[in-house]
């Protein structure tokens, strides 16, 4: 028997496993549950606010890069989201039509056209994700600073590991 959790619905952790294996199994299952719950939240929140789920994912990518002073071009956004050039153009046109993004020449390289989020995009994101942030803040209040540092470190490394596993060149 391996320590890897099976695909499909999350079964109970097998009692016969040693404690360390049971914890790894439970961690993997809980990460899967977090991913699914997050996707459900995005679906419901997007639908409620009249925004496409892909729009929210795009705005997240745009904002993260913009805030890191590394704005994305349309082709870079397409690569991040796994979209074709025509689909990305339609996405950006839709976001621009709702006042969520603008296209601007890059100040450092005038040949580049960056896709930038507007204040309206930040306002929409805040409205959509404020209830979740509040609930997670309340949950975090039940942990000590040391526990939060440990959880934060694990989740950060887990996110990096998942990104690396998602890279087709990084798979075995």
Q: Where are the domains of the chain?
A: 51-151
Which two three-digit tokens encode residue 104?
């601007």
What's residue 89's pLDDT? 96
- Enumerate residues 6+ apart whose C-beta is below 8 A from 96: 102, 103
Residue 91 has pLDDT above 70, yes or no: yes
- DSSP secondary structure letter of residue 8: S
Top mean pLDDT of 22-31, 109-118, 144-153 is at: 144-153
> How much is the average pLDDT of 142-147?
98
Extended beta strands in the chain, E state: 72-73, 101-105, 113-117
Q: How many CA atoms lie within 13 A of 66 on its CB side?
A: 22
Helical axes 85-97 vs 53-67, angle rounded to 10°: 80
pTM recorded for the entire structure: 0.76
Q: What is the pLDDT of residues 111-128, one digit of tens each?
A: 899 999 999 999 999 999
Mean of per-residue pLDDT scores for the chain: 88
Give the model's confidence band at 4: pLDDT under 50 very low, under 70 low, under 90 confident, else very high.
Answer: very low
Give whole-number Cα distances, 154 to 31, 48, 93, 148, in Å: 11, 32, 38, 10
Number of helices and strands in the chain (H, E) = 6, 3
Which of the following CATH numbers is that of domain 51-151: 2.60.15.10, 1.10.260.40, 1.10.10.10, 1.10.357.10?
1.10.10.10
Per mean pLDDT, which range of 34-38, 52-56, 119-123, 166-170 is the poorest?
166-170
d(CA 133, CA 38): 12
Give whole-number Cα distances, 168 to 78, 81, 163, 164, 165, in Å: 16, 14, 10, 8, 7
């Amino acid at each position: 028997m391996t320590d890897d959790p099976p695909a499909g619905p999350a079964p109970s952790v097998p009692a016969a496993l040693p404690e360390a294996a049971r914890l790894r199994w439970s961690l993997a299952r809980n990460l899967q549950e977090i991913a699914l719950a997050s996707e459900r939240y995005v679906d419901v929140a997007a639908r409620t606010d009249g925004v496409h789920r892909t729009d929210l994912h795009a705005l997240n990518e745009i904002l993260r890069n913009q805030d890191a002073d590394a704005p994305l071009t349309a082709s870079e956004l397409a690569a991040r989201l796994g979209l074709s050039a025509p689909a990305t153009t339609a996405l950006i046109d839709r976001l621009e039509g709702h006042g969520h993004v603008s296209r601007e020449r890059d100040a450092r390289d005038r040949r580049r056209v960056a896709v930038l989020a507007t204040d309206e995009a930040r306002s929409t994101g805040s409205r959509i994700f404020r209830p979740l942030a509040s609930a997670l803040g309340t949950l975090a209040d039940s942990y000590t600073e040391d526990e939060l540092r440990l959880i934060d470190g694990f989740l950060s490394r887990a996110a990096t590991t998942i990104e690396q596993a998602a890279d087709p060149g990084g798979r075995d």
